[in-house]
């Protein structure tokens, strides 16, 4: 309880609050009136606000407020507006081929940025966020294409996938395992030949024999000059890009027990818009033909 | 007779008391005492009218000055275009990355304040501060509608009548109108003034425009009309800072008590009785005209904005009495101290104004109200020097700045791409900034790495090392550039290369030193 005898400061003649610290007493000056009125105004404002807007938490949800405002409704309005703004572009994309989209600068720009975001959600897991791929997963930035780098070819690959069994139109290629068909020496010779096409082999004397083995066993798919065949999805072995690893050991391993990557068909999952946008995006990465 | 006799003693004595006079100073917390500044005439008053006319004129009219910049840029002389991030000031156009010019101007403003304050005291407060100017304007309105000091005091004290209501409503309406015009002028700096005015009138301007006008109307009305001197005394930090920048050689408004004291209401009678009397007849004119409501005769005070209206009022009285002007004057504290020492015999006696006069009643040579050599002393010159150096630096920067710029971002994901022939490709995001409002043809060239070739996505032209592109006026043109280095020449990558943007017609150019990334190589 405060002291019944009210203490009055001698110098200022103002009553003190009764609080004292080391002999220093707090004067009980009134609040400035503008301050007090501002405080009352905020209280009134708060009451009005609590009535008008969602505010009081109940067991399952908060009170609704008489204005019926909701931030979720506000977001959905914005989302609808964004969808409406994109509608024109999406219609045009639906009625155009991938090549036509690329020819139209405005549509191309729209498709690239839309494709980039679709890519980050669905494709980056295998191909990397920059589409640089990795061992067994093709780099989409370079100019080496297993199935062709033209816009429609890229579209076809994305839409129906690679070795994706449920899709009838999927890209299929399969390299037979040569582990039983060729002797280890023959495989060594072939690897020496394949590597010699782009760099120095470790055993140059094997190259000539290897060329013969290649012509007999591999040329039917990879071509007489080893430059591959896109019809069949046979990789170009005469370039500097190695999907399954560089060097003779990697080549031998792939000959013995070939590994085959699988890419799902994306058309059923993402729809035509998104696949077209993806094709435009992939084509724009710098290696598109 | 040591003194000039008072020839015409028809001086009106005013019943005025300073709000901060020691005698009336009450408890810590008290209500505002209303101040009813009286009209003044004189040279400082005329100077203030001139400054008010100029500052208000500049503020209200500047957005309406047109400046033809062609079809690609707005035709407003001064425009802060936030939407497209440009600042236009007559022939100068500033892009966001050149905002240091504005920072430089702020530095200049700071040193300008030091300079002015150390030389002529609180001239900013007294003449140019917006608060001062608008309060002055609001007082003009108040005086026009309600009359001068005495009429206003009567009106304020009187009961509410039809006349009082009419006058008050008229006054507040005009004040609010000034407030609206002030807020309105402000937003014209941020958009095309004529079209914004049209849409403001048609009520379809953006809400932010109305909000800004509303807020500035409220602050102008409250600060200029209702709070007035309280803003300067209680809210504004400048008086504290400016007071710290003053020294004994800065000009301040000074009551020269060495010639004024002892003051006497009945100077003639007292002089006749042989008493020593000063020039001050205690008419209180200096207090009545003061917009801050203080008494300058109490000495230097925080509240004084050095507007010099008391000088005008006192000079008028001195003229009527046939005495020299300058009883209240601009003076330096060092001058004041010298004169004071003279009048008090070095501080050993009471003030005797006869000591500062010679046998003919004229001021002795030593007594000077103002010595200009003291005003332009080394400290002031140093401030002026720094201020001028910053200003010249900005001017040089402005004249020498680039109007063509190249910004390059090296692709990081992936850092490089190996092509099927073994060559290595790097990607760069190149932005060409054409900062003039004219269409230009820019050549983009790579220099260094002689075997490297360049390709711009979406562009078929170019010889593999150079490309020319038409760029739009006053825009940023983004380009995706691929640089490819063939296998077998990869050692060249160590050198890196330069990307050069050049305008062949003006030879204006900008160079970017680019790195080239390789598989397995250490990242540089």
Q: How confident is the model over B432-449, as pLDDT tens digits?
A: 999 888 889 999 999 999
Residue A141 to residue B414, Cβ atoms within 8 A: yes
How many other C-beta atoms can be found within 10 angstroms of the C-beta atom of residue B476?
A: 14
Quick one: what percent of chain B has pLDDT higher than 90?
53
Does residue B100 register a pLDDT over 50? yes
Q: Which of B13, B12, B18, B11 shows the shortest CA–CA distance to B290? A: B18
Q: A32 in contact with B at a CB cutoff of 8 Å?
A: yes
Q: Reply yes or no on whether the pLDDT at B321 is more than 60.
A: yes
- Longest Cα–Cα distance of chain B, Å, equals 118
Q: If interface means Cβ-Cβ distance under 8 Å, which residues of chain B face chain A?
A: 27-29, 411-414, 417-422, 425, 427, 457-458, 480, 482, 487
Tell me the ipTM for this assembly.
0.79
Region B277-283: mean pLDDT is 89
The share of chain B scoring above pLDDT 70, in percent, equals: 94
A132 and chain B in contact, CB less than 8 A:
yes
pLDDT at B28 over 70: no
- List chain A residues with CB under 8 Å of B421: 239-240
Say if the Cβ atoms of B414 and A132 lie within 8 Å.
yes
The stretch B86-113 carries a mean pLDDT of: 90
pLDDT at A176: 93
Among the ranges given (A4-18, B316-330, B508-522), the one the predictor scored with the smallest mean pLDDT: A4-18
The residues in A 216-275 lying below 8 A from B, measured between CB atoms, are: 236, 239-241
Contact list in A for residue B420 (CB cut-off 8 A) is 142-144, 236, 239-241
CA distances in angstroms from A187 to A195, A250, B25, listed in the order given = 12, 11, 109
Cβ distance of A32 and B29 shorter than 8 Å: yes
Best probe of the A interface among B26, B29, B479, B484, by most A CBs < 10 A, is B29
For position B71, what pLDDT does the model report?
78
Average pLDDT over residues A54-83: 91
CA atoms within 13 A on the CB side of B343: 26
Q: What is the pLDDT of residue B180?
A: 95
- CB contact A143 to B (< 8 Å): yes
Please say if the pLDDT value at position A87 is more than 70: yes
Q: A27, B28: Cβ pair inside 8 Å?
A: yes
The beta-carbon contacts of B374-377 under 8 Å, at least 24 apart in sequence, are B374/B249, B374/B332, B374/B334, B374/B335, B375/B119, B375/B120, B375/B249, B375/B250, B375/B251, B375/B332, B376/B119, B377/B249
- On chain A, the residues whose CB falls within 8 A of the CB of B414 are 128, 130-132, 139, 141
List chain A residues with CB under 8 Å of B487: 240
Over range B371-380, report the average pLDDT.
Answer: 80
Helix ranges restricted to H, B158-308: 162-188, 193-201, 207-219, 229-230, 238-245, 257-260, 267-272, 285-289
Q: Is the pLDDT of residue B26 over 70?
A: no
For A184-231, the pLDDT digits (tens) are 999 999 999 999 998 888 999 999 999 999 999 999 999 999 999 998
| B27:A128 CB<8 A | no
Average pLDDT score over residue span B199-226: 94
To the nearest whole angstrom, how far is the Cα of B20 from the nearest Cα of chain A? 17
Strand partners of residue A25? A20
Report the alpha-carbon angle A90-A92-A95, nearest 5. Answer: 110
A124-133, A140-149, B2-11: least confidently modelled range:
B2-11
How far A144 CA sits from the closest chain B CA (Å)?
6
Evaluate if residue B112 carries a pLDDT over 70.
yes
Cβ–Cβ below 8 Å for A29 and B482: no
Residues from chain A contacting residue B409 (CB–CB below 8 Å): none
pLDDT at B522 over 50: no
- Angstrom distance (rounded) from CA B84 to CA B476: 11
Using the predicted structure, report yes or no on whether residue B327 has a pLDDT greater than 80. Answer: yes
Q: Does residue B134 carry a pLDDT above 80?
A: yes
Higher pLDDT, A111 or B73: A111
Q: Give the model's pLDDT for residue B426.
A: 93
Per-residue pLDDT at B461: 64
Rounded average pLDDT over B78-88:
91
Contacts of B58 (CB under 8 A, 6+ apart): none
Residue B86 DSSP class: E
B384 vs B378: CA distance, rounded Å: 10
**For residue B215, what pLDDT band results from cuts at 50, 70 and 90?**
very high
Comparison of pLDDT for A189 and A25, the residue scoring more: A189
The yes-or-no verdict on residue A260 having pLDDT over 60 is yes
Weakest mean pLDDT among A125-129, A175-179, A265-269, B434-438: B434-438
Instruction: Note the Cα B29 to chain centre separation in Å.
Output: 33
Is residue B91 very low, low, confident or very high in pLDDT (cuts 50, 70, 90)? confident
* Cβ contact A130–B425 (<8 Å): no
Predicted confidence at residue B246, as pLDDT, reads 86
Suggest the residue from A34, A103, A133, A141 to mutate for an interface test with chain B (most B CBs closer than 10 A): A141
| Option in B27, B414, B487 nearest A14 (CB) | B27
- Report the chain B residue with the minimal C-alpha distance to residue A102: B458
Between chains, do A142 and B418 touch, taking CB under 8 Å as contact? Answer: yes
Q: Which residues of A touch B477 (CB under 8 A)?
A: none
pLDDT in tens, B388-409: 999 999 999 988 888 899 999 9
Asked if B421's CB is within 8 angstroms of A240's CB, the reply is yes
In angstroms, the separation between the Cα of residue A27 and the nearest Cα of chain B is: 10
Cβ neighbours of A144 in B, within 8 Å: 419-420
Cα–Cα dist A128/B184, whole Å: 54
Contacts of A97 (CB under 8 A, 6+ apart): A151, A152
Best of B419, B425, B459, B484 to disrupt the A interface (most A CBs within 10 Å) is: B419
In chain A, the percentage of residues whose pLDDT exceeds 90 is: 78
Q: What value does the mean pLDDT of chain A take?
A: 91
Strands A16-21 and A24-27: antiparallel
| pLDDT higher than threshold 90 for residue B223 | yes
Query: Considering just the CA atoms, what is the radius of gyration of chain A in Å?
Result: 36
- CB of A16 within 8 Å of any CB in chain B? no
C-beta atoms of A13 and B419 within 8 A: no
Query: What pLDDT is attached to residue B311?
Result: 95
| Six-digit token string for B382 | 């140093």
- Mean pLDDT lowest among A171-185, B362-376, B443-457: B362-376
Query: Which among B26, B28, B417, B482 is the top mutation candidate for probing chain A, defined by the most A β-carbons within 10 Å of its own β-carbon?
Result: B417
Average pLDDT over residues B329-358: 86
CA distance to partner chain B, nearest, from residue A131 (Å):
8
Check CB contact under 8 Å for B417 and A29: no
| pLDDT of the residue at A1 | 44
Closest CA–CA distance from residue A178 to any residue of chain B (Å): 26
> Which pLDDT belongs to residue A262?
94
CA distance A78 to chain B (A): 19
Report whether pLDDT(B86) > 80: yes
Residues in chain B within 8 Å Cβ distance of A245: none
Average pLDDT over residues A111-131: 95
pLDDT (0 to 100) of residue B523: 46
pLDDT score, position B2: 44
User: In angstroms, rounded to a whole number, what is the distance separating the alpha carbons of residues B80 and B72?
Assistant: 16
The minimum CA-CA distance between A128 and chain B, rounded to whole Å, is 9
Give chain B's end-to-end CA distance (angstroms, integer).
94
Distance (Å, whole) CA B83 – CA B191: 9
Average pLDDT of the segment spanning B130-136: 95
How sure is the predictor about B316, in pLDDT bands with cuts at 50, 70 and 90? very high
- Nearest CB partner across the interface for A143, out of B28, B29, B420: B420
Q: Is the pLDDT of residue B372 over 80?
A: no
Confidence class of residue B463 from pLDDT cuts 50, 70 and 90? low
Q: Distance (Å, rounded) from C-alpha B490 to C-alpha B343?
A: 92
**Which 8-state DSSP code applies to residue B235?**
I
Indicate the residue of A198, A236, A286 with minimum beta-carbon distance to B427.
A286
pLDDT for B29: 60
């Amino acid at each position: 309880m405060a002291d019944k005898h009210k203490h009055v400061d001698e110098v200022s003649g103002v009553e003190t609050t009764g609080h004292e610290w080391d002999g220093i007493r707090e004067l009980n000056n009134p609040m400035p009136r503008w301050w007090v009125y501002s405080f009352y105004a905020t209280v009134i404002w708060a009451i009005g606000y609590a009535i008008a807007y969602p505010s009081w938490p109940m067991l399952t949800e908060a009170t609704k407020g008489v204005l019926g405002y909701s931030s979720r409704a506000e977001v959905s309005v914005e989302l609808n507006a964004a969808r409406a703004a994109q509608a024109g572009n999406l219609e045009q994309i639906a009625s155009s081929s991938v090549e036509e989209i690329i020819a139209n600068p405005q549509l191309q720009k729209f498709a690239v940025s839309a494709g980039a975001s679709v890519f980050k959600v669905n494709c980056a897991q295998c191909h990397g966020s920059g589409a640089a791929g990795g061992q067994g997963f093709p780099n989409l930035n370079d100019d080496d294409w297993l199935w062709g780098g033209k816009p429609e070819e890229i579209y076809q690959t994305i839409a129906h996938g690679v070795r994706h069994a449920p899709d009838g139109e999927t890209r299929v290629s399969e390299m037979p395992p040569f582990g039983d068909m060729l002797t280890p020496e023959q495989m060594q010779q072939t690897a020496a030949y394949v590597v010699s096409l782009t760099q120095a082999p470790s055993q140059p004397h094997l190259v000539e024999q290897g060329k013969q083995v290649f012509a007999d066993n591999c040329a039917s798919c990879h071509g007489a000059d080893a430059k591959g065949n896109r019809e069949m999805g046979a990789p170009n072995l005469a370039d500097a890009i190695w999907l399954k690893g560089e060097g003779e050991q990697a080549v031998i391993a792939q000959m013995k027990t070939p590994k085959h990557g699988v890419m799902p068909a994306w058309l059923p999952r993402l729809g035509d818009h998104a696949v077209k946008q993806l094709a435009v995006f992939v084509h724009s990465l710098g290696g598109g033909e | 007779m040591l003194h000039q006799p008072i020839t015409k003693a028809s001086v009106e004595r005013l019943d005025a008391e300073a709000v901060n006079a020691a005698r009336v100073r009450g408890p810590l917390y008290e209500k505002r005492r209303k101040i009813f500044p009286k009209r003044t005439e004189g040279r400082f008053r005329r100077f203030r009218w001139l400054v008010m006319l100029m500052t208000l004129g500049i503020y209200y009219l500047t957005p309406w000055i047109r400046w033809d910049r062609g079809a690609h840029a707005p035709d407003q002389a001064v425009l802060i275009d936030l939407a497209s991030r440009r600042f236009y000031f007559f022939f100068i156009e500033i892009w966001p990355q050149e905002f240091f010019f504005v920072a430089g101007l702020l530095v200049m403003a700071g040193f300008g304040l030091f300079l002015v304050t150390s030389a002529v005291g609180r001239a900013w407060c007294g003449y140019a501060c917006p608060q001062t100017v608008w309060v002055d304007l609001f007082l003009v309105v108040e005086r026009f509608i309600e009359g001068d000091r005495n009429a206003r005091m009567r009106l304020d004290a009187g009961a509410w009548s039809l006349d009082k209501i009419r006058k008050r409503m008229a006054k507040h309406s005009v004040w609010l109108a000034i407030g609206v015009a002030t807020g309105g002028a402000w937003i014209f700096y941020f958009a095309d003034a004529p079209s914004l005015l049209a849409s403001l009138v048609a009520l379809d301007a953006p809400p932010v425009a109305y909000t800004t006008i509303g807020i500035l109307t409220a602050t102008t009305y409250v600060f200029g009309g209702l709070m007035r001197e309280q803003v300067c005394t209680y809210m504004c930090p400048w008086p504290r800072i400016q007071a710290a920048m003053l020294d004994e050689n800065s000009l301040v408004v000074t009551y020269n008590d060495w010639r004024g004291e002892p003051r006497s209401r009945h100077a003639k009678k007292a002089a006749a009785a042989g008493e020593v009397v000063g020039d001050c007849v205690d008419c209180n004119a200096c207090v009545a005209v003061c917009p801050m409501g203080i008494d300058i005769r109490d000495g230097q005070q925080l509240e004084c904005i050095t507007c010099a209206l008391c000088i005008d009022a006192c000079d008028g009285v001195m003229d009527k009495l046939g005495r020299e002007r300058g009883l209240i004057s601009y003076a330096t504290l060092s001058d004041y101290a010298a004169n004071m020492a003279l009048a008090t015999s070095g501080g050993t006696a009471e003030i005797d104004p006869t000591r500062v006069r010679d046998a003919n009643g004229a001021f002795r040579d030593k007594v000077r109200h103002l010595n200009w050599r003291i005003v332009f002393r080394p400290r002031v010159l140093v401030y002026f020097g720094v201020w001028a150096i910053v200003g010249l630096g900005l001017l040089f920067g402005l004249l020498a700045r680039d109007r063509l710029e190249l910004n390059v971002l090296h692709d990081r994901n992936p850092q490089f791409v190996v092509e099927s022939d073994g060559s290595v490709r790097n990607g760069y995001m190149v932005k060409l900034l054409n900062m003039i409002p004219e269409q230009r043809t820019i050549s983009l060239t790579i220099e260094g790495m002689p075997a490297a070739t360049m390709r711009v996505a979406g562009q078929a032209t170019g010889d593999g090392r150079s490309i020319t592109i038409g760029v739009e006026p006053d825009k940023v043109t983004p380009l995706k550039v691929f640089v490819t280095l063939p296998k077998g020449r990869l050692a060249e990558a160590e050198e890196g290369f330069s990307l050069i943007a050049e305008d062949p017609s003006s030879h204006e150019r900008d160079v970017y030193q680019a790195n080239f990334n390789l598989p397995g190589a250490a990242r540089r």
